[in-house]
């Protein structure tokens, strides 16, 4: 046993939502661990531009909307063309919306489901084909503790349902492909400082409720989720598949 098991030398990773937050933190850590990374998102950020400039030979970027039906095929093709392989997929891109269930319209429902469930399905479907040719690969789907509990005080039935579906998709994919060398796991973050949570963190009442219901009494940083993703993607997790790793500061313990 060696710490080298946590390395990703010679591996190529495709990371959606890699332009900010958890996705960007995962990209930084994967690059440090020796991987080459294809990153995607809807728009570049200052932090992403800096990352690409600092890693010109091992990182690349393609702007894409994951809800477009052909995006998965395009992303995988671009990754193979640029780096010649695809070993790890991190399905990270996601969106959230709050609101009363009885007032939640079809447009918002479609936006949530297309981004959080249908897009990861399509992208994983495209990514798994070159993995099958190699007989090896790792997929990390970013779920949420919201797929396990009802959050408070915000109301978000659609978001929670989409993440529960991601967890089940992970379980079923893992069962189907375990015998063919491909591991599929999910990461379920708790409350992480990000663009998705900054509005709630800025609200005194939400902030207080979230922290009081987290036994560790604080929010996570994106880098803390990146280390979990690295474990699931690396050979250190060689006997782990079909798991949903909860990283929530204890939120789901009560």
Active site residues: 159
Report cis status (omega within 30 of 0) of the bond before 153.
yes
Q: Can you tell me the distance from the alpha carbon of 206 to that of 200, in angstroms, rounded to the nearest whole number? A: 6
Name which of 33, 2, 19 is nearest 138 in CA terms: 33
Edge-first strand listing for the sheet containing 59-63? 59-63, 36-41, 12-16, 88-91, 137-142, 182-189, 244-247
Q: Can you tell me the distance from the alpha carbon of 23 to that of 15, in angstroms, rounded to the nearest whole number? A: 7
Q: Can you tell me the distance from the alpha carbon of 99 to that of 24, in angstroms, rounded to the nearest whole number? A: 28
CA 210 to each of CA 99, 155, 162, 216, 251: distance values in angstroms, whole numbers, following the listed order: 17, 13, 21, 11, 9
Strand pairing of 59-63 and 36-41? Answer: parallel
Name which of 217, 230, 162 is nearest 190 in CA terms: 217
Q: Can you tell me the distance from the alpha carbon of 38 to that of 15, in angstroms, rounded to the nearest whole number? A: 6
In this structure, the number of other CB atoms found within 10 A of the CB of residue 164 comes to 16
């Amino acid at each position: 046993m060696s710490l080298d098991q946590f390395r990703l030398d010679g591996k190529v990773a495709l990371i959606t939502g890699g332009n900010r937050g958890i996705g960007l933190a995962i990209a930084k850590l994967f690059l440090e661990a020796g991987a080459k990374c294809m990153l995607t998102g809807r728009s570049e950020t200052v932090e992403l531009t800096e990352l690409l400039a600092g890693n010109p030979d091992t990182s690349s970027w393609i702007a894409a909307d994951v809800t477009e039906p052909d995006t998965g095929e395009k992303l995988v093709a671009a990754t193979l063309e640029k780096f010649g392989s695809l070993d790890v997929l991190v399905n990270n891109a996601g969106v959230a919306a709050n609101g009363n269930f009885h007032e939640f319209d079809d447009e918002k429902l479609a936006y949530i489901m297309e981004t959080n469930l249908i897009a990861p399905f399509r992208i994983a479907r495209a990514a798994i084909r070159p993995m099958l040719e190699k007989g090896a690969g790792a997929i990390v789907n970013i779920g949420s503790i919201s797929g396990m509990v009802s959050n408070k005080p915000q109301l978000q039935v659609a978001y929670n349902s989409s993440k529960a579906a991601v967890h089940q998709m992970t379980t079923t994919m893992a069962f189907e492909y375990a015998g063919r060398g491909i591991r599929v796991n999910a990461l379920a973050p708790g409350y992480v400082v990000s663009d998705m949570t900054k509005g709630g963190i800025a609200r005194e009442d939400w902030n207080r409720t979230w922290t009081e219901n987290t036994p560790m009494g604080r929010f996570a940083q994106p880098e803390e989720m990146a280390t979990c993703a690295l474990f699931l993607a690396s050979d250190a997790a060689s006997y782990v598949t079909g798991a949903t790793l909860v990283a929530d500061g204890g939120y789901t313990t009560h």
